[in-house]
């Protein structure tokens, strides 16, 4: 029974937010390529450097989205719209 429980949590159980210092349950799985820009902009750091997906709790997902939006806006200005 114990063994089975471990397997379930590893494969499909709830994941913890990948942001450093956050232990909330992750509700979103995001593409790192798309959202890594948002990390710096929001002042957030990932707890693990080798992740292939960015899993974030609701709170950090919102922060990351804000960061990504800002990033895209700046890019637009740099390109001269
Ligand atoms: Zn979080």
Q: Over the stretch 28-51, which tens digit does the pLDDT of each residue have?
A: 999 988 898 888 888 999 987 667
Q: Confirm if 40 and 68 have CB atoms less than 8 A apart.
A: no
Cross-strand bridge partners of residue 54: 30
Q: Determine the Cα–Cα distance for residues 66 and 80; give it in Å rounded to an integer.
A: 22
**CA 76 – ligand 1 centroid, Å:** 29
Rg (C-alpha) for the chain, rounded Å, is: 15
Q: Is the pTM of this model over 0.75?
A: no
**CA 27 – ligand 1 centroid, Å:** 9
pLDDT in tens, the chain (81 residues): 555 554 444 455 678 999 999 999 999 999 988 898 888 888 999 987 667 889 999 999 999 999 887 666 777 777 776
**CA 74 – ligand 1 centroid, Å:** 25
**CA 26 – ligand 1 centroid, Å:** 7
Angle at 45 between CA 63 and CA 48, to 5 degrees: 125
Query: How many CA atoms, within 13 angstroms, populate the side-chain half-sphere of residue 59?
Result: 9
């Amino acid at each position: 029974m114990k063994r089975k429980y471990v397997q379930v949590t590893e494969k499909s159980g709830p994941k913890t937010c990948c942001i450093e210092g956050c232990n909330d349950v992750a509700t979103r799985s995001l593409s790192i390529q798309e959202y890594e820009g948002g990390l710096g902009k929001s002042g957030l750091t990932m707890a693990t450097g080798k992740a292939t997906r960015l899993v974030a709790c609701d709170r950090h997902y919102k922060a990351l989205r804000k960061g990504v939006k800002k990033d895209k806006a700046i890019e637009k200005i740099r390109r001269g719209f």
